[in-house]
Homo-oligomer: A and B are copies of this chain.
Amino acid sequence: MSILAVGSIAFDTIATPSGRVENVLGGSATYFSLAASYFSEVRVVAVVGDDFTIEHEKTLKARGVDIRGIDRAKGKTFRWGGHYLDNLDQAKTDFTELNVFEQFQPRIPPEYLDSQFLFLGNIQPNLQAAVRLELDNVRLTGGDTMNYWIQRTPRELAETLKLVDVLLINDSEAKMLAGDKSLPRAARKVLAMGPQALVIKHGEYGATIFFREGAFGVGSHPFRAPALPIEEVQDPTGAGDSFAGGFMGYIASQGQLTREVLKRALFYGGVMGSFAVERFGTERLQSLGREEIEARFKVFRELTHLE
């Protein structure tokens, strides 16, 4: 089934201990779409400038991504520059040029209105809510946010969280959102804000999904999926969005919304995140095979499963 993804498309300039690239195609919607495309049909809503070329289009089209929802505005595409130090755990921003992204108003093509799955990438919470409210057939909404919105637009974010079924954020975002430094307590508080489930991403330590009591099945036990210990991480940019793409893509490929499906989705999230960081930008996500993905899923399983 189809996933509608709304988010950013950007040109990234990235420096890591492994090298440097300039103006490569990136942004949350790009990483998400490419990762999800291995599991489901993906439709993108985003905005680009007149520097977005046919070559850039091809990167998405080659993976079958529906780009009719990409708006072409006058001006330049969103640009971001950043670098990572030795431990690769956090990006330091060198520059941010919002350009056409500053005035982004998501416009949903009529052909997208029957979408059953929705991913609200990390954009202004009011825009996230507006997209959700335009769609009548959504079975599951995934959402992302960041410290910037948690601090600047708490009330708008609170309204949006009531519309999100599964929120995907990282440890520091969860702690900030809940105002609690204990991760399990923070998880409980975030679930009380609306979502049925909360995925907290731990970077190189994997991710945990916390469920509301009774959501997607019986019980309230959390579940953890690992991340792969990768010696040579070339570029961590987009790991979280690729995780979300694998997670949502797998869910949309399944008929049922059960706990077991969400658990496996957590593993596929980790799998797609692990591929993303092996090369700069979206390179690795452009030409994977389903066999490679299944082989890595097996590695993830062997990494944590007892006989």
**Interface residues, chain A, CB within 8 Å of chain B?**
86-88, 181-185, 187-188, 202, 204-206, 208, 210, 221-226, 229-231, 233, 260, 263-264, 267, 299, 301-307
Knowing A263-B306, A307-B260 touch, does A184 contact B224 (C-beta < 8 A)?
A: no
Chain B residues near A187 (CB-CB < 8 A): 229
Among B202, B221, B267, contact of A302 (Cβ-Cβ < 8 Å):
B221
Are B224 and A304 interface neighbours, CB within 8 A?
yes
Chain B residues near A231 (CB-CB < 8 A): 182, 184-185, 188
Are B264 and A182 interface neighbours, CB within 8 A?
no
Among B183, B229, B263, contact of A183 (Cβ-Cβ < 8 Å):
B229
The residue on B at minimum CB distance from A89 is B181
Closest-CB distance, A287 to chain B (whole angstroms) = 25
Q: Interface SS of chain A: helix, strand, loop or mixed?
A: mixed
- For the complex, give the distance between the alpha carbons of A188 and B224 in Å: 25
Closest-CB distance, A216 to chain B (whole angstroms) = 14
Knowing A188-B231, A205-B206, A224-B226 touch, does A306 contact B303 (C-beta < 8 A)?
A: no
Which of A185, A187, A202, A304 has its CB near the most chain B CB atoms (within 10 A)? A304
Chain B residues near A224 (CB-CB < 8 A): 206, 226, 303-304
Chain B residues near A226 (CB-CB < 8 A): 224, 304
Closest-CB distance, A26 to chain B (whole angstroms) = 23
Are A305 and B302 interface neighbours, CB within 8 A?
no
Are B181 and A306 interface neighbours, CB within 8 A?
no
Closest-CB distance, A88 to chain B (whole angstroms) = 7
Which of A188, A204, A306 has its CB near the most chain B CB atoms (within 10 A)? A306
The residue on B at minimum CB distance from A219 is B302
Closest-CB distance, A128 to chain B (whole angstroms) = 27
Chain B residues near A305 (CB-CB < 8 A): 304-306
Chain B residues near A263 (CB-CB < 8 A): 306
Among B182, B205, B221, B229, contact of A88 (Cβ-Cβ < 8 Å):
B182
- For the complex, give the distance between the alpha carbons of A184 and B202 in Å: 16
Closest-CB distance, A220 to chain B (whole angstroms) = 11
